[in-house]
Amino acid sequence: MNPEEFKAQLTADGIELSNHQMDQFATYYQMLVATNEHVNLTTIVDEADVYLKHFYDSITPVFYDKSLQNETLTLCDVGAGAGFPSLPMKIVFPNLKVTIVDSLNKRITFLQDLVDQLGLKDVKLYHARAEEFGGKKSKHREQYDVSTARAVARMSVLAELCLPLVKVGGKMIALKAAQAETELVNGNQAIKTLGASVIDDEEFNLPVSDDPRHIIILSKDKKTPKQYPRKAGTPNKKPIGEPKK
């Protein structure tokens, strides 16, 4: 998917990109590839693959939750890495107020340079572990309309990292690939324990590559119990509701 095909596909999806937005994506690509030579940001560097598997893929949640397109929402992107999915969504929909948390400071440094270069407003970056960022004493706990994550962890773990950040009445949106159904079954107890419920699981295929994708949307129905998230590393080692290995 080259840049022109990227723009045409989004037009077909009902989203018109301006020349300025196309320039922002071009700059994003150039900075991503240049920085990736000395900081491990992505294994995908071919332009057509980046536009499809990073940029377009990151925008897909807006097809299934239209509030992202037109409401002034606070969105926390957990483990964003090179800025996915939040920054492509932010470029297309400036109404979003984005907070990114990532555990590697080199990635945060890249993202700050990127945000400055693209001229993006209402983007905050934090170098932190998600378990600490959403902890019971954190000012960020249950403050966001939406939390999101892509390629970070399986649902039972991801729920514990993301849901403590979401205010009651808000949503968690997970971008998933082929194993989503199994992850949901295994993560069901964690989702309930953390105060949420599944309201949508949209299955689709990316254009061009036909790669399978899922957008899973959870509703935050009640406050997350104070003991969650547990200390850094524990959610991954001992996921809620999953049998011990």
As averages over each run of 10 residues, the pLDDT of the chain (245 residues) reads 98 98 98 95 95 98 97 96 97 98 95 98 97 95 97 89 98 91 91 96 95 96 97 93 73
Q: At residue 147, what are phi and psi to the nearest 5 degrees?
A: -115, 150
Distances (CA, A) of 84 to 24, 78, 138, 150: 15, 9, 24, 7
63 is in an annotated binding site: no
For residue 130, say whether it is annotated as part of any ligand binding site.
Answer: yes
- State residue 180's pLDDT score: 84
The per-residue pLDDT for 74 is 98
Q: Check whether 47 is labelled as a binding-site residue.
A: no
CA 17 to chain centre: 21
Pairing of strands 97-102, 74-78: parallel
On whether 180 is known to bind a ligand per the annotation, the reply is no
**CATH number given to 3-237:** 3.40.50.150
Q: Where are the domains of the chain?
A: 3-237
The answer to whether 140 and 158 are in contact (CB under 8 A) is no
Read off φ and ψ for residue 196, nearest 5 degrees. Answer: -130, 175
Tell me if the bond preceding 229 is cis, omega within 30° of 0: yes
According to the annotation, is 150 in a ligand binding site?
yes
